[in-house]
Chain A
Amino acid sequence: MISKNCVAMILAGGQGSRLGALTKNVAKPAVPFGGKYRIIDFPLSNCVHSGIDTVGVLTQYQPLELNRYIGNGSPWDLDRSHGGAYVLPPYQSAKAGEWYKGTANAIYQNLGFLEGFNPENVLILSGDHIYKMHYGEMLKAHNESDAAVTIAVMPVPWEEASRFGIMNVDENGTITEFEEKPAEPKSNLASMGIYIFKYDVLKKYLEADERDPKSSNDFGKNIIPTMLENGEKMVSFRFEGYWKDVGTIQSLWEANMDLVDEPPKFDLADRKWRIYSRNMALAPHYVGTNAKITNSTVTEGCFIDGEINHSVIFGGVELGEGSVVNNSVIMPGAKIGKNVVVEKAVIGVNAVIGDGAKVGVNSSDDNKYASKLCSHDLVLIEGGAEVKVGEEIFKGSMVEA
């Protein structure tokens, strides 16, 4: 029988409703990020670089595109004969069949999958965070401390601590208390939603949790507090580095801007820790005679004849002569015509912006596209949507297809 030291499970079923039109047809982990990636490339690439070769991806909401994207796992070197990448949707069995009720229930429903690999440890990850992390180091610390569970934490600014799940720890890093979004935080160590459990402990608690009809079957709300109550050894693993939850349009836009700041807050060019992705197989990008590109990233298949500043341009994007794009994220295949101005916007996959259009330049009190999800004057154009020739889209708009 195959026996794996550590199997990773990525929770990728969430809708990501705060991403508005970006997740209308795709799950949050499949949202494009950083010029040529999708959010799920980050945990998948981290797994491979950390020596973890067996990864279950739990999908539920709008799974088609995510399933196709992951495929047999070959872009991440996860097409393995003994292990590899597995897409795990909810399924029916003889006795029962139901949707994933919560994060803990999603893992519970796949205990049969884990059983097949006879793992010593299970790494639980979330499919909506941007970061580079060596899980192998965390696993080593987990084995050395002989903890029931090791939880990755990172220091956050004190004034923001009340937005996170906060871990209070003693001088050895042992977790003494867990508070979900505390009004008055006692520590600034936030849980990153990354757990390594001993498999037998995880199984025991998941089974007990499932028997409790009052439980909401969630790791943060149920499993972790119950383990603390029962006095299980729970240890924190401190992570210092870039980590970003891209759950809102604003934070997704910010995380993209972090890549083109000078110096970048997050560097994707590190060759020792490449982020792998399913390649679009396009030709190099062509920069025309009228183009001017500064403080930006551009990738394969683009045709750029306009001006780009402080922006992230994905594959296959076209930008016509006389157009200007500032502080924006232009997703794959978007076509922007001539003499267009785009300011602080997220333009979705294959969106079309007609000649002479103005996007995010001016404000208006009478804005039919105004959306609460587009805070801080951001504009979101949904994938496949069309902005007509000469049309003006005001700040704070969400234009749906």
Chain B
Amino acid sequence: MRRDDTMGIILANNDRIPPITDIRANLALPIAGRYRIIDFVISCMAGAGITNIGVATESNYSSLMDHIKSGKPWDLDRKNWGLNILPPNVEKMTSGTIKGDIDMLSGISDFLQRSPQTYVILSLGNSIYNVDFAELIEKHIESQADITVLYKDMKGNDERELSRFTMLELADDNRVVDIEVKPYYPKTTMASMDIYVMEKALLESIIDECSARGDRDFVKDALVKKMSGLMIYGYEYTGYTDKIDTLASYYRNNMNFLNKEIREDLFTRKCQIYTKTKDQSPTKYGDSAVVKNSFVSDGCTIEGTVINCILSRGVKVAKGAVIENSIIMQDSVIEEDVELSHVVFDKEVHITKGRKLIGQDSYPLAISKGKKI
């Protein structure tokens, strides 16, 4: 069903994972073989019936534009609204360059203004999940909160892992009583998923107020300072989610797709996850192929050994090559007798015959796009 009263705003933020974000925004990072991180948030919004979505970009947005194009894979190529890439608006920025999410939001104030929806789902992060946004909006409206923030209880995680998140302290009725952005010693295990629901008018007034004062950070300058005056409530998500902001989390979250429960949670929980299609032919296994515990996209040609790997589309693995515990992006070529372990290859990496590249579980070896070794 269409949810005409709600619009979606997705901010392509600035979390950098060198070298794989050198050429693209974080949200455009390939994940799980054929997807990009942004596919999860767009598919969930589309699945909730939201038909007006703006993706505010900062820099390096050509790969996002190329990926999203008209929005067709999500059925968002519409006459009214649809999926819109919103390039940065330099004139609206406090100092001529983008220095935070308030700058990005104020750059799209025209888009917000002319959108007729009452509510807005604001996504500031780069997490993967399969959230029922329709239910989230319902709960927000029911609870009469000013702002509802989606969170996940990360109990059981290492303290250092929790420090990557914005942590929430919640009262018994789930009202947010404290917010700490990436605290070194987190007081709670409730991690914000960087998804906020509010009335569009409230978002507009926050943006206006913050940019008038030269504030730049939506969470630190708006939410933290307004916590007592606004009714901010948490809403718990119980499915699998994680944020992709470091090479280690990028590696781990790709590898997690080899886990059946996590894979099913992310792909079949609520929404179907869509992505741009490339019309590749099916993957071809040769007579010497050995593939175990791997996630393989279309268009690959496999003659060698692939164990515990995520292969994007069009990867070629020659005879005698052995790849273990690795993430290989689109159109990379692995020649004969190459040995790879714990590597992350960007697109079109070419490893010539007999080379050996070994990374570690805690420190995978990442190679940037188009490198020939």
Contact = CB atoms under 8 A, between A and B. Distances in A.
A binds B: yes
Contacts of A312: 282
Interface stretch (A160-168, A192-200, A280-288, A368-376): A280-288
A164 B32 CA distance: 48
Contact of B294 (A34, A286, A300): A286
B301 interface: yes
B240 to A, nearest CB: 14
Given A74-B72, A276-B279, A262 B287 contact: yes
B279 to A, nearest CB: 5
A36 B282 contact: yes
A259 to B, nearest CB: 9
A207 to B, nearest CB: 40
B291 A291 contact: yes
Interface stretch (B49-57, B267-275, B336-344): B267-275
A274 interface: yes
Given A275-B281, A286-B294, A299-B298, A293 B33 contact: no
B317 to A, nearest CB: 13
A401 interface: no
User: Chain A binding site: helix, strand, loop or mixed by DSSP?
Assistant: loop
Contact of A284 (B34, B72, B73, B290): B34
B111 interface: no
A298 interface: yes
A279 interface: yes
Interface in A288-310: 288-289, 291-300, 308
A268 B289 CA distance: 19
B20 interface: no
A293 B260 CA distance: 20
Contact of A288 (B274, B285, B292): B292
A94 interface: no
Interface residues of A, number: 34
B296 A268 contact: no
Given A276-B279, A284-B33, A285-B283, A36 B298 contact: yes
A294 B289 contact: yes
B263 A286 contact: yes
Contacts of A35: 281-282
A312 B284 CA distance: 9
A217 interface: no
Interface in A254-287: 260, 262, 268-269, 274-277, 279, 281, 283-287
A262 B282 contact: no
B18 interface: no
A279 B291 CA distance: 25
Interface in B196-243: none
A90 B31 CA distance: 47
Interface in B26-77: 32-34, 72-73
B279 A274 contact: yes
B277 A298 contact: no
Contact of B292 (A285, A291, A297): A291
Contacts of A262: 286-287
Given A283-B32, A288-B293, A269 B299 contact: yes
19 contacts: A268-B281, A269-B281, A269-B284, A274-B279, A281-B275, A283-B263, A283-B295, A286-B260, A286-B294, A287-B293, A287-B295, A287-B296, A291-B291, A295-B285, A297-B281, A297-B282, A298-B296, A299-B282, A299-B298
Interface of A: 34-36, 74, 260, 262, 268-269, 274-277, 279, 281, 283-289, 291-300, 308, 312-313
Given A284-B297, A294-B285, A299-B298, 5 more contacts: A262-B287, A288-B292, A298-B285, A299-B282, A300-B298
Please give me the 3 A-B residue pairs with the lowest Cβ-Cβ distance, nearest first: A35-B282, A284-B33, A299-B282
